[in-house]
Structure 1
C-alpha cells in the first residue's frame, strides 16, 4: 500500500487515473446494463459510491502534496483541479446544472498531470535537498 505521507503524488495520480477509468467506463457499463435490465436504467450503488471514494482519496493526496511541494503555483493548481472535480461530481449527484458529462475529464486529467509534475519536480528529497523551481 502507498504511504500517503511519503508518496502523496503517486497516490493522487493513481486515484485520479482510476477516477478517469471509472468515468470512461460508466457509459459503457450503463449501456450494457440497460440492455439486460429493461426500464431500470441505474448503475449499481457500489459503482456510484466510487465517486465519493475517489473524492476522499484525492482530497487526502492533494492536501498532503500541497504540504510537501516546493513550487508555490502547484498548490492552487492542485486545489483548483480538486475543487473542479468536487463541484462536477456533486452537481452530477444533485442534478443542479446541465453540465456535459465530458467536463469531468478536465479536472481529472489536470489532477493527474499536476500530481505527476509535482512528483517529478517539486518535492524535497530525503536529505532535504529541494528543487529550486520557484
Structure 2
C-alpha cells in the first residue's frame, strides 16, 4: 500500500483506530474487574495494556494529519484537531494524574473522532481534479 492509498483511506484508518480505542477504553474496567484477584508485579494492570493508549493516539494523529490534507471543509480540519487534542489531553492526564477527570470522559472525544472521520469520508473529501484549497470548497 503506497502513501496515496493511505491518504485516501486515512478516514477509515482514523475511524478504525478511534473505534479500537473506544473498545479498549470500555474493555479496560471490565478486564480489571475480571482479574481483581490477580495482580502482576504489584501493579493493577500490565504495562503493555497502558501502551495501547499511546499507540491508538499515534495512529489517530497520523490519520488526522492525512485527513485534513484532503478535506474540503475548514471546520472539519478544526473539529478533527480539537477532538484529537481533547483525547490526547485526557489520555495524558490519566497517565500523569494531573487533574481528577471521570474515566468515562474519554468516550466523548473517541466517539466524536469516529463520527467526524466517517462524515469527512462521505461528505468532505476533495473530488478528483479539484484542489482542496479552492476558496469555494473551504466553506
Q: Which TM-score applies when normalising by structure 1? A: 0.90
Distance 1:8 1:35, change over 3 A: same
What is residue 106 of structure 1 aligned with on the other side?
Answer: 108
What is residue 88 of structure 1 aligned with on the other side?
Answer: 90
Alignment coverage as a number of residue pairs: 134
Q: Deviations over 1:30-77 (max 9, x none)?
A: 111223349945111111110000010000011111111001100110
Q: Does the aligned pair in 1 maintain the 2:87–2:106 contact within 8 Å? A: yes
Q: Which TM-score applies when normalising by structure 2? A: 0.86
What is residue 49 of structure 1 aligned with on the other side?
Answer: 51
Note if 1:63 corresponds to 2:103: no
Mind listing any 5+ residue stretches in structure 2 that lack a counterpart?
A: none
CA distance in 2, matches of 1:116, 1:22: 20
Mind listing any 5+ residue stretches in structure 1 that lack a counterpart?
A: none
* Counterpart pick for 1:14 among 13, 16, 27: 16
